[in-house]
Structure 1
Amino acid sequence: MKSEEFYQQIEQRFIEWGREQTDVHVAYVAGSRARLDHAADEYSDLDILLYVDDPKQYLNENNWIRNFGNLNTAIPFQNGGGGLEWLSLFEGGYQVDFVIDSLTVFQEQAAKGVPLDWFRRGSRILLDKTGTAQRLIPEQFEKTDSSPITAEGFAFTVNTFWFLAIYLAKQIVRNELWTAKLRDAECKQVLLQTIEWYEKMVHGESYDTWHAGRFISEWVDQDVFQQLNGVFGRFDAADSWRALQETITLYEDLSRKLAAHYDYSYPEELVSEVKQWIQAHK
């Protein structure tokens, strides 16, 4: 079965099930399977947001998910927005994420009439027993707002990066490679934020950098993209050193350009000390 056919079947089964549940009131599809820009491919999952009387009833157990297909597993998860959901894996490797919230929350959101940020790139109604679900759908789909650069935000990220750089170096010296990899992920988050700011500096504040590095090959400048080839290292000390050095080189180049463009101060003493320590211990 092709993925599109499978997810259409899931949606239809959900609609039929939802109509029969007196405590399920509204449901939406969001994410890639509701987007027009960069629409879903065969590997995209399905994201369903449902509003119910008592979310705990649906969060405490997952047997209700079995109404929609042959369920392999479902894992409870707290998403980045603070909401609770089930990450569900069905037979065939198909994933459906069920985000669950209360009818009270929906009523408050609908009364405001402000579309959810999650819906701004694409969303559609799957079930509506209230007649008001359309209030949360944007009139026009567009990119979501990203964090604009500020002097305070830049200072925090630049100090965080150099703090993490010396921390990573120490773990590599100690051959604590697992710890180094965990902290390197945090370092790369700072690098990504800086890349996003840099691209907006070059192309304008309205330039679309998506989120979490999605479609980065499409929106990042090619010279930056080429340098990204070297910032991820293997699980050994020598290559971890190399990757750290290349990460530092790229980050410092972009962050100094940002500082010069926006007239932000740069922590020269901190940078000098970190570089000296790394040079002495590599």
Structure 2
Amino acid sequence: MDYNAVLDALSKWAQRTDNVRAVLVTGSAAAGDVHPLSDRDIEIYAHNVESLLEDESWWNGFGEVLVVERLANDPGPPTRLIYYAGGKLDFTLIPAGDLATAVHTRPFQVLVDKDACAPPSPSTVETPNPPKPDEVDQAINWGYAAALMCAKAVVRDELWSAKLRDNDLKDELLRMIEWDHRLRYGASIDTRYLATRMNTWMDADIRSELSHCWSRFDAADTAAALRRTTALFSRLSERVATALDLPVFDHERLISEIDHILQKRQDQHPGPTTAAAHHGTNVAEQRP
């Protein structure tokens, strides 16, 4: 997909569509930091957003549509993620009256602004505030809750459920990785969304440990990866809490409980320790 041609076509469509008052390009493309497979994030400001949601023909003019994700995002503005042959456009549809007071934490580009209402684009990415104590507490509790449920699903041989709860744990692990990195190297470090470009900012030792935190669709391998993940999650959670002078959480007790649950599977299926399972048995040795 030729994005330059697409954005030109989008601008011309917006100019001749009275309902549409402004079009902004946000995301990495607006900052000039794009990968050949990067999509384009587009904000469309319109008098009547509902009409753009009801009549979907307008986005067909920008390429061959393959699939569409229609997201309500309530209470936020609705989005339409359009997957074209060779590319993708993410449209956020916003009432025109919101443009003048819109807050952007990252640079953006103005394609169309019929009413000259767009605020100035920030020149740099806004520096986030350190996590609040309740945010850290929530991440720790949610992470371990997911780990406990993942362990139980493994013992029950409910591998699909185990993978879903493992994904919940990974969400909280990523929060810890980002917080830890910014607390150690500076709040202005841009960790991006969903660890995008993680190889450019994440420490090599963390990336190395992460290579053991995903598993095959196999109970023993899932258990081993779970142990690895909780060990890393525990270490980073402790480091974040120490940096923020927060109360100590009893990580050892949680890891012991997870091991106790996983032991039930070993009791049910006695046999030689697999190489994959062995990766996760020495959790204590991985902790500082």
CA contact (8 A) 2:151 2:258 kept: no
Report whether the alignment pairs 1:93 with 2:86: yes
Q: Higher helix proportion, which one?
A: 1
Q: Would you say 1:67 and 2:66 are equivalent positions?
A: no
TM, length-normalised to structure 2: 0.84
Amino acid aligned to 1:127: V
Displacement of 1:130 in angstroms is: 0.5
Query: What is the distance in 1 between the residues matched to 2:255 and 2:224?
Result: 18
Distance 1:13 1:262 in 2: 49
Structure 1 position 273 matched with structure 2 position 257? yes
* Cα distance in 2, alignment partners of residues 257 and 131 from structure 1: 47
Give the conservation status (yes or no) of the 8 Å contact 2:159–2:217. Answer: yes
Contact 2:223 2:262 in 1 (8 A): no
Tell me the distance in 1 between the aligned counterparts of 2:177 and 2:212: 15
Which of 18, 22, 27 is matched with 1:26 structurally?
Answer: 22
Tell whether the 8 Å contact from 1:165 to 1:248 is kept in structure 2 after alignment: yes
For structure 2, list consecutive stretches of 5 or more residues without a partner in the other structure: 267-288
Q: Structure 1 247/131 Cα, relative in aligned 2: closer, same or farther at 3 Å? A: same
| Corresponding residue for residue 124 of structure 1 | 109
Partner Cα distance (1:144, 1:186) in 2: 27
Please tell me the residue identity of whatever aligns with 1:61.
D
> Matched residues in 1 for 2:196 and 2:97: separation?
33
In 1, distance between residues paired with 2:68 and 2:141? Answer: 39
Residue 54 of structure 1 is matched in structure 2 by 48
Instruction: After TM superposition, give the deviation of residue 80 of structure 1 in Å.
Output: 9.2
Aligned mates of 1:236, 1:54 — CA distance in 2 = 50
Identity of aligned residues (%): 29
In the alignment, which residue of structure 1 is the partner of 2:141? 159
CA contact (8 A) 1:115 1:137 kept: no
- Residue 143 of structure 1, CA deviation: 2.1
Match of 1:189? 171
C-alpha distance after superposition, 1:164-194 (max 9, x if no partner): 1111000011111111111111100110111
Once superposed, what is the RMSD of the aligned Cα atoms? 2.1
Partners of 2:240 and 2:69 in 1: how far apart? 41
Kindly tell me the number of residue pairs found equivalent between the two proteins. Answer: 264
Provide the TM-score with structure 1 as the length reference: 0.85
SS at 1:89's partner residue?
Answer: strand
The unaligned stretches of length 5 or more in structure 1 are none
